[in-house]
Amino acid sequence: MNDWSTLDVLKFATEAHTGQKRKYTGDDYIVHPMAVAELVRKHGGSKVQVASALLHDTVEDTSVTNAQVKELFGPEVANLVHWLTDSSKPSDGNRAIRKGIDADRLASAPAEAQFVKVADLVDNTSTIVVHDKSFAKVYLKEKNHLLKIMTKIHGSSLWRDAMQQMKEMAKSFPLD
């Protein structure tokens, strides 16, 4: 099913995230998925990857199901959204345990999903380091770990940009 446009996906994601605001900035939440999608597009991502970037938080943060994503945008988009949706639950334990579960899953994700996840990390970093310096150090350690284990995209221009961003952030937020 490829009879959808990126605009269709954007409209759907915008509606799904209606009323949600971006932490720290108060922007409409859709600003984040749009920024992730733009990074994916800028670095040569496919139409399916751009769509999954727009939808990457819908199953996790809204009432949208992966079945709905599959019905509307096809199995390829739904598969990537599935890989991009955290599998850990609060009942699994503290943040370190949950992020470990999610990291193990991302390490085995297809390259297309890892690519979108790196764009998500880059955009989140730019917000967190400006607005929450105390959390930034924790987040950057998690990001550094993910960049190391998502090996299927090492060497891509997006991964290199993410590594450069980490290098720049290390000046203000040493990882020890």
Structural domains of the chain in order of their starting residue, each with its CATH number: 6-170 (1.10.3210.10)
Label residues 159-172 b or e (16+ Cβ within 10 Å = b): bebbeebbeebeee
Which tokens belong to 82? Answer: 């599935």
pTM: 0.94
* Whether residue 29 has pLDDT greater than 90: yes
pLDDT of the residue at 14: 98
pLDDT of the residue at 176: 67
| Residue whose structure tokens are 């997006």 | 158
pLDDT of the residue at 2: 60
At 103, phi and psi to the nearest 5?
A: -65, -45
If you ran DSSP here, which 8-state letter would residue 85 be given? S
Residues acting as catalytic residues: 60-61
Cα separation, 120 vs 51, whole angstroms: 13
Taking only the tens place, the pLDDT of each residue in 108-153 is 999 999 999 999 999 999 999 999 999 999 999 999 999 999 999 9
Contact (CB, 8 A) for 124 and 139: yes
